Structure 1
Amino acid sequence: MPETVQFTKESGVGLITLNRPEVYNAFNQQMGDELVQVLKEAAKDAEVRAVLLTGSGKAFCSGQDLRDRSDANLQTMSLGNSVRTRYNPIIRAIVQMEKPVIASVNGVAAGAGCSLALACDLRIISDRAKFIVAFSRIGLAPDSGASYFLPRLIGFGRAMEIALTGRDVEAQEAVQVGLADRIVPHDQLEEEAFRWARQLAQGPTKAYSLTKRALFYGMEHSWEEALEYEAQMQEIAGKTEDFREGVMAFAEKRKPQFRGK
């Protein structure tokens, strides 16, 4: 059983909680490995139709636990290999998850923890949350997908300024510039985040998966290629039970009862 990551299921929602509150949910090797394990479990679990990712205690995730490096020779160790083996599998598991993934940001999201939140499909945040692209503070470049997601969410110029300065982006600014989708009072975050996740869990799961694929594809290809890819995705969607249910519900003037199939 994972020790640093908790995983529970309720109403179609897989709740993943980073659980190292004493260090603001900073990553060590164990937590990185266990998060990948839990994400893969959620991806395979047919009962899970939406994933909600959050942190225990006061923080979402403060990034790399620098104490985890204390016994290593920082001049000879390979940070590149560390990124490839510890963080990239986490980001890949979120992006390739064929279900919506919501980050519920309850406090600071810094460094790789910020990247983790940005890689999720949606972000709901507490009014006490803050985002910090903190890599430059310790002489590093962005990793864990930050260089990909940050400029796409908020634009190149603003992304460059936030990445170079490593400054705190408080909750209100985060929503204004597009780092987050929704902001709620801190004491309402847990309830509102779960409500949003449950709403998605009741939706057309396969269509959500195809939507994720199409949007990622569209960001990297020409409009002509995107048109063809949309047609391919629609061919798949049109053969799902949820599509048939959606059409029948529309004709019968009732709310559709999607099953995620």
Structure 2
Amino acid sequence: MSEPVYLNIEDKVATLMLNRPDHGNAIDLQTAKQLFEKTLKVHQDKRVKVVVLKAEGKNFSFGGDLRSFQEHGDHVGAHLRELTSYLHQAIILLAKMDKPIVGKINGVAAGAGLSLICLCDVVIAGESAKFTPSYTKVGLSPDGSCTYILPRLVGLRKAQDFLLLNPIWDAEKALNEGLITRKVSNASLDDEVETIVTSFLTGSKSANAKTKKLLQMSFLRELEEHLTLESDMISEQSGLRDGKEGVASFVEKRPPVFD
């Protein structure tokens, strides 16, 4: 039996893939556990320069595995407490990861699948992709950091509409609202993701890590405090090998060669 989450690390690229295509890549307890365990491996692997988050089959993820929830009957609350503990630990690792995360989205992304998309730094979706929360539609409240990150991406008013009324956004709507980065044809989805991955592989890992951290901290600090953080980070980065190489390559009018 194949594992519900597949991990491959090769040539500085970590690929995390949801692997329950016959179940719409729905997230059950075992999937949540493996997502945490394999995300931890990626987080700790210093070789990795970029992460690709994707799914096997025709859909990204239907969200939580409602059939598995129902099987626990009156104990479903305890079951979901355990499931979300693993899922949320994985999400914390993804959110804090100093490596850029590229989301490759095909088909339907709903519920916790939608939450996973929100954690990516760059999201490329095929033209046939569909997005919907679906939590309140089935009588549940959101998890997976959706209520935290989504308002920061699309704005509070749009997030209220999306999470409470559960419209289905196609790829064009998701692009216009700021949920995804790019919409491409289904046929060119692989090529577009590969282009983005190559860009990160040839870029500066340390500069990207600092940029991610600055963006994350921007919602938590006052302007003056944030400017101090920016000053600290650019000063530190300028003394690193990548910082020196980037400046030198610009002055010398040649492509940079980063670590």
TM superposition score normalised by structure 2? 0.94
1:13 and 1:198 in contact (8 A); partners too: no
Deviation of 1:130 after TM superposition, in Å, equals 1.2
Cα offsets for 1:107-154 (capped at 9, x unmatched): 111001100111111211000111111111111222111111111111
1:83 and 1:143 in contact (8 A); partners too: no
Secondary structure of 2:179's aligned partner: coil
Task: Name stretches of at least 5 consecutive residues in structure 2 with no aligned partner.
Answer: none
Flag the 1:243–1:223 CA change in 2: closer, same or farther, 3 A. Answer: same
Whole-angstrom distance in 2 between the partners of 1:46 and 1:157 = 39
Deviation of 1:213 after TM superposition, in Å, equals 1.0
Flag the 1:197–1:74 CA change in 2: closer, same or farther, 3 A. Answer: farther
Q: Identify the residue that residue 108 of structure 1 maps to in structure 2.
A: 108
2:35 and 2:87 in contact (8 A); partners too: no
1:11 and 1:198 in contact (8 A); partners too: no
Deviation of 1:84 after TM superposition, in Å, equals 4.4
Q: Identify the residue that residue 239 of structure 2 maps to in structure 1.
A: 239
2:112 and 2:144 in contact (8 A); partners too: yes
Which amino acid in 2 is paired with 1:146? C
1:2 and 1:34 in contact (8 A); partners too: no
Query: Alignment identity in percent?
Result: 32
Cα offsets for 1:91-112 (capped at 9, x unmatched): 1011111100011111111001
Secondary structure of 2:77's aligned partner: coil
Which amino acid in 2 is paired with 1:23? H
- In the TM superposition, 1:137-148 aligns within 5 A as 137-148=137-148
Q: Identify the residue that residue 25 of structure 1 maps to in structure 2.
A: 25
Q: Does 2:182 align with 1:185?
A: no
- In the TM superposition, 1:1-261 aligns within 5 A as 3-74=3-74, 77-78=77-78, 81-82=81-82, 84-259=84-259
TM superposition score normalised by structure 1? 0.93
Which amino acid in 2 is paired with 1:15? T
Which amino acid in 1 is paired with 2:174? A
Secondary structure of 1:220's aligned partner: coil
Runs of at least 4 residues off by over 6 Å: none
1:5 and 1:31 in contact (8 A); partners too: yes
Whole-angstrom distance in 2 between the partners of 1:255 and 1:74 = 61
2:136 and 2:163 in contact (8 A); partners too: yes
Secondary structure of 1:70's aligned partner: helix
Whole-angstrom distance in 2 between the partners of 1:229 and 1:205 = 19
Report the more deviating stretch, 17-26 or 195-204. Answer: 195-204
Secondary structure of 1:225's aligned partner: helix
Deviation of 1:9 after TM superposition, in Å, equals 3.3
Whole-angstrom distance in 1 between the partners of 2:196 and 2:35 = 22
The alignment's C-alpha RMSD in Å is 1.8
Whole-angstrom distance in 2 between the partners of 1:31 and 1:202 = 32
Task: Name stretches of at least 5 consecutive residues in structure 1 with no aligned partner.
Answer: none
Report the more deviating stretch, 64-73 or 115-124. Answer: 64-73
Report the more deviating stretch, 95-104 or 70-79. Answer: 70-79
